[in-house]
Structure 1
Amino acid sequence: MHYASQLYRGLLNGMAVVAALTLVWLMVAVVLSVLMRNFGLQPWSWLFVSTEYGMFYLTLLGAPWLVREKGHVHIELLTAALPPTMLQVVSRLVALLCVLACAVLAWKGFDLVMTHIERGSTDTRGGYFIPRWILTSAYPICFGLMAIEFFRFVVGRDLLHSGQAGIAE
């Protein structure tokens, strides 16, 4: 079980590293595109396509790690005013609602991927034909992992909310 836990944590960390590297790529691609335009050159079509998909994957690949680290944005004004017992209930209820939302999105994402595979759908941008299932495969994976991470806050010792306003600042 310890090995599986390490493997799972490595998966989340690896996805976060890919997201961080994608962010670096986005910076390089935008700067390169602007420089090319300033010199009167037409930027390569794949440069624009890679930034579009990069923003998509950056968001989804980093999200499960962000949930694990409690790095998501939330307002703690209400939870900071709650007594400890009520904080436990509210925090776990919010985490459960997040599990349900992520599970639904993972399921619908899986359905979308399967639909694209069955239809053989492709995305054509800049002269490149990319199977749509490749583009949408991040939905079920990332939302499924986020559901797992939120579920840890439903049943685990740690709470999703600290109960202290401004603690992360």
Structure 2
Amino acid sequence: MQNFFKVVGWASFALATLVKLMLAAIVVEVVADVVLRNLNYRPIAWGVSATEYGLLYAAFLPMPWLVRIKGHVFVEFLRRALPAGGRVVLEKLVYALCIGLCLYLTYFAFASALEALNTGAYETKTFDMPKWLIFLPIAIGFFLSALEWLRYLVGHDSLYNVDPLEREGL
């Protein structure tokens, strides 16, 4: 099981790294677009659409890595008010709820991707984007996030083993 979670962690890290490269490309495209406009040249025709799709990918693909590194926002005032036994129960409930929500959203994103693939649907902007490529990062992000939450649920780590103030450097 430990090796399985290592592979999931590697995949999560790889997707987060890919998104860093995509964000760098978006920055380059936006700067190039602005420079071209200021020099009275035509802007890059596909730039806005590519940026929109890039931001969609940037929202969902690094999500599992953020779960793994505990880099998302969470509130723990209720957990701190509970005794130690209650904290453990609440933790497990939170993990199970997160897994359930991620799998639920994975199902709908994957079903939408399959439907788009079967129908050959495209989103038409400055270039045609197959709709399944729009739903795919959503499905991948939520599915891998569910696996990262599962890692917490089965006890390989705890979301709460780092003090939030310490994590923020306060």
Q: State the TM-score, normalizing by the size of structure 1.
A: 0.89
State yes or no: 1:56 paired with 2:56.
Answer: yes
Give the direction of change, closer, same or farther, for the CA distance of 1:8–1:155 in structure 2 (3 Å limit): closer
Q: Can you give the 5+ residue segments of structure 1 that lack an aligned partner in the other structure?
A: none
Q: How many residues were matched structurally? A: 168
Q: Deviations over 1:102-139 (max 9, x none)?
A: 0000000111011101211011111x122111221112
Partners of 1:40 and 1:79 in 2: CA distance: 58
Alpha-carbon shift at residue 47 of structure 1 (Å): 1.3
Aligned to 1:136: 135
Give the direction of change, closer, same or farther, for the CA distance of 1:122–1:85 in structure 2 (3 Å limit): same
Aligned to 1:47: 47
Percent identical across equivalent pairs? 33
Give the alignment's Cα RMSD to 1 decimal. Answer: 2.0
Task: Report the secondary structure of 1:123's partner residue.
Answer: strand
Give the direction of change, closer, same or farther, for the CA distance of 1:68–1:163 in structure 2 (3 Å limit): closer
Aligned to 1:149: 148
Aligned to 1:31: 31
**Segments ≥4 residues shifted beyond 6 Å:** none
* 1:87–1:163 CA contact under 8 A, matched in 2: no
Q: Can you give the 5+ residue segments of structure 2 that lack an aligned partner in the other structure?
A: none
Alpha-carbon shift at residue 79 of structure 1 (Å): 2.6
Residues 103-114 of structure 1 mapped to structure 2, 5 A cutoff? 103-114=103-114
Q: Deviations over 1:23-77 (max 9, x none)?
A: 2122222222222222222311211111101101111110011111111111233
Give the direction of change, closer, same or farther, for the CA distance of 1:9–1:163 in structure 2 (3 Å limit): closer
Alpha-carbon shift at residue 2 of structure 1 (Å): 6.4
Paired residue type of 2:138: Y
Partners of 1:16 and 1:165 in 2: CA distance: 22
Q: State the TM-score, normalizing by the size of structure 2.
A: 0.88
